[in-house]
Chains A and B, each alone.
Chain A
């Protein structure tokens, strides 16, 4: 891993690493293996949810001041959360996120469910100065989250992701009752633990169908967080419904154009920051309100406005690209070149697309599945008759 030399510089890191080598040789965690493990193609051909509503609960209790993540758990978590929010909206453009913090036995909303990454990131940046006190309350956080989530329509996913540093929770009532409620509301709760496995989280995630992971170090933390960017498999019981969506036209008017009339972007009306008047923008096809950014829900007529690329990016979750077949290079007759990067296949194994049988190297295979979400050769075959 790239992080290894950097970590070794810190004396604590080195100390922890030596004991890692000496005391736990038993099992190799395949997490770091490029092929197996959790990071790649954990689902084969599974239909994933396209519209998600995720509440992220961030523990801000006393234990977040622990310095086993640098500079401390809170700062590290918030920094990673910024990356998470960015990535999340990149991969799930028509989904929403909200952030809840919990400390001192209470839970508070940092941001409401919304589809705009900027707002969340600003809030996260501000939260760095939070004083970490008391204990977290799982019950209150979950309760706060379901107050909003339960009103979300059935065709969307309802998810809660908890980042829990503390090993205790201070609850006003029996949490097992709440777990039953969560289950009946089909809310999926996942937990990322920062210190160790806590029983109540195991039960919580198992009952609600979520995942439970505990971090080993910062890079592992990031990996685990990134797992949640990919939408969870859509349950067969979730409703299917048609949603009206608008594809607004982007108009660009130059300043020299006499007819151009500057207008306010509707999304900036409520906030004082950002550009006020602009000449161009996206016009809602229904009511002609102006927006500078997409995706957004029209403030005037309530129509969801997206651009085609947004939809396409979410769309691939519905029809995920099939996993490529791994086979040894020796099987390949003739030239051994990767169809994508045209480099020679030097590794022992190669990957071939099951539909067009083109051959790719490991790097390209990863790139195709992680970023492109479509096989370039298949598309080429379709366009060239």
Chain B
């Protein structure tokens, strides 16, 4: 159908449209009009992708000078494939409607084997790729450097974007890394020797270039050709490479010294935590390495690798990592912390020293993106509370909206189970974690649910350790045996191959009527990337509130930083983080309007307003007073009723006019009125 969105003609390749899609496109258009950034939350399964694509492509066609390119970032390869599929549909629709073959060029970068370096790709109208291509400084420099300023960047499934940013800037150094780095440095030295004998001119040429400094890069940045690289700070562009590392041999010697220093730092018996300036002071005192040459490390290494004409950079990943670390640590005095741990928390007897150079500020990695591109849209099914993202990513959005799902029937049923049948309060909090009564009641909940929920149930625990304890306890109490009478049980483990095997068998059991339960972990692989459509997930049970492991030093440092820099209280952030993961977990079961599922939050703390209020609006609006603080029995009664209601025949006609619209229905006055209420601005 052809839509008119505030005067913009949008081709939409389907005959029917959801009201929230229309609303979403309205907000998106306003964002593009204002040339600003946006944060949009819309439940999964309501056609976010096609709404985004339709509108932005239409915008590009209408205002080719305003928006030249769409950069669509998604998380996983299957998601990227889905986007490409939708895009293809849209393009076919364009060809059919306008009758002209369009000259739109779309490009999907999914893996290295699909990578294309043809210059024409620079002119592609749409680029679809993974987050890392834009956020990870190592990759971004190769792939995304030359993307035009007048681009629209979309981050889909962006609820974890802050963690992606942090991961892309953090460096972990182990003994293994240092050993490999040592080998790299040796190789470099040998190569330099060889080159010196054969082609000394080359090295001289490099020396001359380095004296002139990084003028080229500076010119490029000033004229705004390239995307800024956070590893290449502004200040060093104005300066020449310092003399101490200008010749190749000196640089290698410098790297050796630095390496020895790091090795000595790793020989610790107790945990050390220090800031970047402290680290710099220490390195100066111990091995007389100044801040300045460290800052040029990354750039100097790149230059050397180019000069030596080394083809396979992958072999030199260790030395690249170390040099990046050197540059980062000397550049950013804030936002990073250094933690050296002599062993892992779980295995205190095995010495395995690690140096965590941990980024605490996600805005560092994403800053160039916000600065460079005129519109950046962050969207996902679960982004609540919306206002926290602009704060932690340090940007100012022009639109922030949360959309609800318009439903012809209430197909999701969130229940908060706070008590067992014996009135014992259910909670995964630390004090009651070992409590037998709580574990027994959790078991009872799963047992009762396994008897009334058809096909698949997915249960999430807060951590692997907690899951192992509970399952062991259930086994001793004989609960597991009773559950197995109703359904098969599969468990997610840390082993990826084992987990995918379990998943496969789980789906088979759901398919052939045996029924199955998948026990998995919030923040695990299952909770983030696997969809449980229809019968694969008729109920999701969230045992406990999935708080992150708070004893971790990295997390503590980050919380402190958030408090000091962004005035976000520790508890607020922890709750926000726990609730977004809980929402992700329960959201696995509802993947569209014809789908239905129970969402069971088994912890009394969910009933509190501060927790509940952080759930996405499309879940929150279905939680009423009758679904708070239930006992197991009450939850079973409600679930039984819900499942029977949902099993009644449901056809497309039932949705039409309510949650699915034809063009005429959409254009009716009354509907447009209703649509304005779908978007909830904050």
Most buried by B among A15, A16, A168, A197: A168
Provided the pairs A19-B641, A24-B642 are in contact, do residues A168 and B513 lie with their beta carbons within 8 angstroms? yes
A108 at the binding interface (Cβ < 8 Å): no
Complex interface: chain A residues within 8 A of B626 (CB):
19, 22-23
Interface of chain A residues 176 through 206 with chain B (CB within 8 A): 176, 193, 195-202
Can you name the residue of chain A whose Cβ is closest to the Cβ of B514?
Answer: A168
Closest 9 A-B residue pairs measured CB to CB? Answer: A200-B513, A214-B647, A199-B535, A197-B647, A196-B643, A169-B513, A196-B454, A167-B454, A198-B454
Cα(A215)–Cα(B640), bound, Å: 11
Cα(A22)–Cα(B643), bound, Å: 16
Complex interface: chain A residues within 8 A of B398 (CB):
none
Cα(A36)–Cα(B434), bound, Å: 56
Cα(A136)–Cα(B651), bound, Å: 30
Q: How far is the CB of A265 from chain B (nearest CB, A)?
A: 46
Report yes or no: A26 in contact with B640, Cβ–Cβ below 8 A. Answer: no
B105 at the binding interface (Cβ < 8 Å): no
Complex interface: chain A residues within 8 A of B408 (CB):
26-27
Complex interface: chain A residues within 8 A of B624 (CB):
22-23
Cα(A23)–Cα(B214), bound, Å: 67
Most buried by B among A23, A29, A174, A216: A23
A218 at the binding interface (Cβ < 8 Å): no
A293 at the binding interface (Cβ < 8 Å): no
Some 25 contacts from A to B, beta carbons below 8 A apart, are A24-B641, A26-B409, A27-B408, A27-B654, A63-B451, A135-B485, A168-B486, A168-B487, A176-B512, A195-B452, A196-B452, A196-B640, A196-B644, A197-B643, A197-B646, A197-B647, A198-B513, A199-B454, A199-B455, A199-B535, A200-B513, A213-B648, A214-B648, A215-B644, A216-B648
A20 at the binding interface (Cβ < 8 Å): yes
Report yes or no: B637 in contact with A16, Cβ–Cβ below 8 A. Answer: yes
Cα(A197)–Cα(B538), bound, Å: 10
**Which of these, B515, B637, B648, B654, contacts A167 with CB under 8 Å?**
B515
**Which of these, B487, B513, B641, contacts A16 with CB under 8 Å?**
B641
Interface of chain A residues 43 through 97 with chain B (CB within 8 A): 63, 68
B511 at the binding interface (Cβ < 8 Å): yes
Cα(A171)–Cα(B512), bound, Å: 9
Q: How far is the CB of B532 from chain A (nearest CB, A)?
A: 12
Report yes or no: B641 in contact with A20, Cβ–Cβ below 8 A. Answer: yes
Cα(A199)–Cα(B487), bound, Å: 14
Provided the pairs A168-B487, A169-B513, A174-B512 are in contact, do residues A23 and B627 lie with their beta carbons within 8 angstroms? yes
**Which of these, B407, B640, B645, contacts A68 with CB under 8 Å?**
B640
Complex interface: chain A residues within 8 A of B407 (CB):
26
Cα(A15)–Cα(B640), bound, Å: 13
A138 at the binding interface (Cβ < 8 Å): yes
A-B contact count (CB 8 A): 104
Interface of chain B residues 511 through 553 with chain A (CB within 8 A): 511-515, 534-535, 538
Most buried by B among A68, A167, A170: A167
Q: How far is the CB of B320 from chain A (nearest CB, A)?
A: 50
Q: How far is the CB of A203 from chain B (nearest CB, A)?
A: 8
Q: How far is the CB of A382 from chain B (nearest CB, A)?
A: 40
Provided the pairs A167-B454, A171-B512, A200-B512 are in contact, do residues A23 and B638 lie with their beta carbons within 8 angstroms? yes
Interface of chain B residues 631 through 664 with chain A (CB within 8 A): 637-638, 640-649, 654
Cα(A377)–Cα(B485), bound, Å: 61
A323 at the binding interface (Cβ < 8 Å): no
Report yes or no: B534 in contact with A199, Cβ–Cβ below 8 A. Answer: yes
Report yes or no: A197 in contact with B642, Cβ–Cβ below 8 A. Answer: no
Complex interface: chain B residues within 8 A of A15 (CB):
637
Q: How far is the CB of A21 from chain B (nearest CB, A)?
A: 10
Complex interface: chain B residues within 8 A of A216 (CB):
644-645, 648
Complex interface: chain A residues within 8 A of B511 (CB):
199-200
Report yes or no: B410 in contact with A195, Cβ–Cβ below 8 A. Answer: no
Complex interface: chain A residues within 8 A of B535 (CB):
198-199, 202
Can you name the residue of chain B whose Cβ is closest to the Cβ of A216?
Answer: B644
Interface residues of B (CB under 8 A from A): 407-410, 413, 451-455, 485-487, 510-515, 534-535, 538, 624, 626-627, 637-638, 640-649, 654
Can you name the residue of chain B whose Cβ is closest to the Cβ of A202?
Answer: B535
Given A23-B627, A195-B640, A214-B647, 13 more contacts at CB 8 Å? A15-B637, A24-B641, A26-B407, A167-B452, A167-B453, A168-B487, A195-B452, A195-B644, A196-B640, A196-B644, A199-B455, A213-B647, A214-B648
Complex interface: chain B residues within 8 A of A174 (CB):
512
Most buried by B among A16, A29, A174, A200: A200
**Which of these, A24, A68, A138, A214, contacts B513 with CB under 8 Å?**
A138
Report yes or no: B514 in contact with A170, Cβ–Cβ below 8 A. Answer: yes
A175 at the binding interface (Cβ < 8 Å): yes
Cα(A31)–Cα(B647), bound, Å: 14
Most buried by A among B485, B511, B513: B513
Cα(A135)–Cα(B514), bound, Å: 10
Complex interface: chain A residues within 8 A of B487 (CB):
168
Report yes or no: A175 in contact with B512, Cβ–Cβ below 8 A. Answer: yes
Complex interface: chain B residues within 8 A of A31 (CB):
648
Complex interface: chain B residues within 8 A of A23 (CB):
410, 413, 624, 626-627, 638, 641-642
**Which of these, A19, A171, A193, A196, contacts B638 with CB under 8 Å?**
A19
Q: How far is the CB of B661 from chain A (nearest CB, A)?
A: 17
**Which of these, B513, B637, B640, B647, contacts A175 with CB under 8 Å?**
B513
Complex interface: chain A residues within 8 A of B642 (CB):
23-24
Cα(A26)–Cα(B413), bound, Å: 13
Cα(A65)–Cα(B310), bound, Å: 75
Complex interface: chain B residues within 8 A of A68 (CB):
640
Cα(A21)–Cα(B511), bound, Å: 33
Can you name the residue of chain B whose Cβ is closest to the Cβ of A211?
Answer: B649
Complex interface: chain B residues within 8 A of A215 (CB):
644
Cα(A22)–Cα(B410), bound, Å: 12
Complex interface: chain B residues within 8 A of A167 (CB):
451-455, 486, 515
Can you name the residue of chain B whose Cβ is closest to the Cβ of A23?
Answer: B626
Report yes or no: A27 in contact with B409, Cβ–Cβ below 8 A. Answer: yes
Complex interface: chain A residues within 8 A of B645 (CB):
24, 216
Cα(A23)–Cα(B642), bound, Å: 9
Cα(A24)–Cα(B649), bound, Å: 15
Report yes or no: B410 in contact with A24, Cβ–Cβ below 8 A. Answer: yes
Q: How far is the CB of B514 from chain A (nearest CB, A)?
A: 6
Cα(A301)–Cα(B410), bound, Å: 61
Q: How far is the CB of B499 from chain A (nearest CB, A)?
A: 22
Most buried by A among B455, B538, B646: B455
Most buried by A among B407, B453, B515: B515
Most buried by A among B410, B512, B642: B512
Complex interface: chain A residues within 8 A of B646 (CB):
196-197
Cα(A170)–Cα(B642), bound, Å: 25
Cα(A199)–Cα(B534), bound, Å: 9
Provided the pairs A199-B455, A199-B511 are in contact, do residues A193 and B647 lie with their beta carbons within 8 angstroms? yes
Cα(A16)–Cα(B513), bound, Å: 28
Report yes or no: A26 in contact with B637, Cβ–Cβ below 8 A. Answer: no
Complex interface: chain A residues within 8 A of B513 (CB):
138, 168-169, 171, 175, 198-201
Cα(A58)–Cα(B145), bound, Å: 68
Q: How far is the CB of B251 from chain A (nearest CB, A)?
A: 64
Q: How far is the CB of B59 from chain A (nearest CB, A)?
A: 36
Complex interface: chain B residues within 8 A of A171 (CB):
512-514
Complex interface: chain A residues within 8 A of B647 (CB):
193, 196-197, 213-214
Cα(A20)–Cα(B409), bound, Å: 13
Can you name the residue of chain A whose Cβ is closest to the Cβ of B638?
Answer: A19
Complex interface: chain A residues within 8 A of B510 (CB):
199
Interface of chain A residues 7 through 45 with chain B (CB within 8 A): 15-16, 19-20, 22-24, 26-27, 29, 31
**Which of these, A63, A169, A214, contacts B644 with CB under 8 Å?**
A214
Can you name the residue of chain B whose Cβ is closest to the Cβ of A204?
Answer: B513
Cα(A355)–Cα(B511), bound, Å: 50
Complex interface: chain B residues within 8 A of A197 (CB):
454, 643, 646-647
**Which of these, A19, A198, A213, contacts B455 with CB under 8 Å?**
A198
